Chains A and B, each alone.
Chain A
Amino acid sequence: MEQFVFFGGKGGVGKTTVSCAYALKCAEAGLDTLVVSTDPAHSTADVFDQTFDDDPRAVEGHERLWAMEIDPDEEVERHMGEIRRRMNEQVSAAIVNEIDRQIELAHRTPGAYEAALFDRFVQVMREADDYDRVVFDTSPTGGTLRLLALPEFLEGWIERLVAKRTKSVDLFEKAAVGDREARQKLDEDPLIAHLQGRKERFEFAGRTLREDAAFFLVVNPDELSIRETERAVAEMAEQDLGVEGFVVNRVTPAPDDDEQGRGATWLRERVATERERIDEIRRAFDEPVVAEIESRVREVRGDLLAAVADDLAIDADAAPAAH
């Protein structure tokens, strides 16, 4: 299995449970494992009954298992603060106020949250050498997909910006007559250097996602969840990202054959309907169903998590050495 494993899916399907269970399985198989929650409604804390923050922290009671919760809002503030600090170093006070409005604006757009989440994401992947496996519990489908499409989109954007900037600087060089110093020079242009640096980071992200990452979708055995999964698989294929398999979660347990009460009849019908849905999943997609996890009466934590981990037929072996 690849070093980075992502679990995605619609809100409420049980991504956190599945992610934590898989992380536990990896840790118990002897791999140093980090589980990263990128869902704004962090629930890793509930699963392990312990609070986490932006830095990896050892999960109590488990060997080789760490967890962290990414906070994009905090990252947005940090990013804004960093730009302001550089601004104050390089620019006269009179101009700072004018520009400050633009900086504020750029960090209050809806895209800022996603960009910050993405940046933290990439940073975690870059600094993941200490871990054999990093499990990402992602935010609901839509957001994750947009996130995964970012590298390609931004690479193209930056390429066009660099081309424009190169052209204007080149013209400024041509306009410099004789001894006159060109207003701007190509080989020392800090903007082009900065944009190139950004582009390299996006390239790293794109490459890592395509080569060193595996994606699983968590799905519930209901119509809505299946439709959403179809969309997700199609969009990921567009990004050149393959889905390894599906985890069907919240499957209703069947009653024993000798039970004939009203509850048992209801359950039996329900189980039959879900069976049809699961068959539909197996028919509709090429990728395998790697687990069917039954609904638990109580929230999955503690020993229940280990039981769910046993249900997961996903490899917990180490990533291939060359990556």
Chain B
Amino acid sequence: MMDDGRSLVDRIASFREWVAEWLHGFYHGMVEHPSFEKIEKEAEDVEDTFLFACFADAFGIPSPASYYTAELLPYLAEEFEAWERRMWDRGSWLERKGQQYHVH
């Protein structure tokens, strides 16, 4: 074992830190990441319904509240633009659904 001048206690501590970090990364890659990604996709789904409820008239469905929901557009501009693109482009939407519900 190399003697780099540190005490045994220090070296054990840094080894444990390294193991903990590696394990966390391993766990995140195997378990956490896919499920968090799923939650995020679910969140996106809910956001899509929210956007649809706000801006149904973008798809020709008249909405009595669209005068008021237009006030939200400055906060939602980027989401709105991406949502509109997603909704019109059914191909990419289906692909995304496949990804979301594909069994890992």
Contacts and interface: CB of A to CB of B under 8 A. Distances in A.
Interface string A65-106: 000000000000001100100110111000110110011011
Q: Is the interface of B mostly helix, strand, loop or mixed?
A: helix
A174 interface: yes
Given A98-B84, A115-B67, A175 B40 contact: yes
A191 B51 CA distance: 12
B75 A90 contact: yes
Interface of B: 28, 32-33, 36-37, 39-40, 42-44, 46-47, 49-50, 53-55, 57-58, 62-78, 80-81, 84
A168 interface: yes
Contacts of B39: 171, 174-175
A188 to B, nearest CB: 11
A99 B77 contact: yes
With most chain A CB atoms within 10 A of its CB, the pick from B32, B54, B68 is: B68
Given A157-B65, A164-B50, A168-B50, A90 B36 contact: no
Contacts of B40: 171-172, 175, 183
5 contacts: A154-B65, A164-B50, A175-B40, A183-B40, A194-B72
A264 interface: no
Given A91-B78, A99-B81, A165-B50, A154 B57 contact: no
B29 to A, nearest CB: 11
B68 A198 contact: yes
Nearest to A110: B62
Interface in A17-74: none
Interface in A157-205: 157, 160-161, 164-165, 167-169, 171-172, 174-178, 183, 190-191, 194-195, 198
B74 A107 contact: no
A96 B78 CA distance: 9
A320 interface: no
A154 to B, nearest CB: 6
A263 interface: no
A111 interface: yes
Contacts of A195: 72
A105 B67 contact: no
Contacts of A168: 43-44, 46-47, 50
B54 A161 contact: yes
Interface in A138-166: 153-154, 157, 160-161, 164-165
A232 interface: no
A161 B54 CA distance: 8
Contacts of A107: 67, 70
A112 interface: yes
A137 B8 CA distance: 90
B49 to A, nearest CB: 6
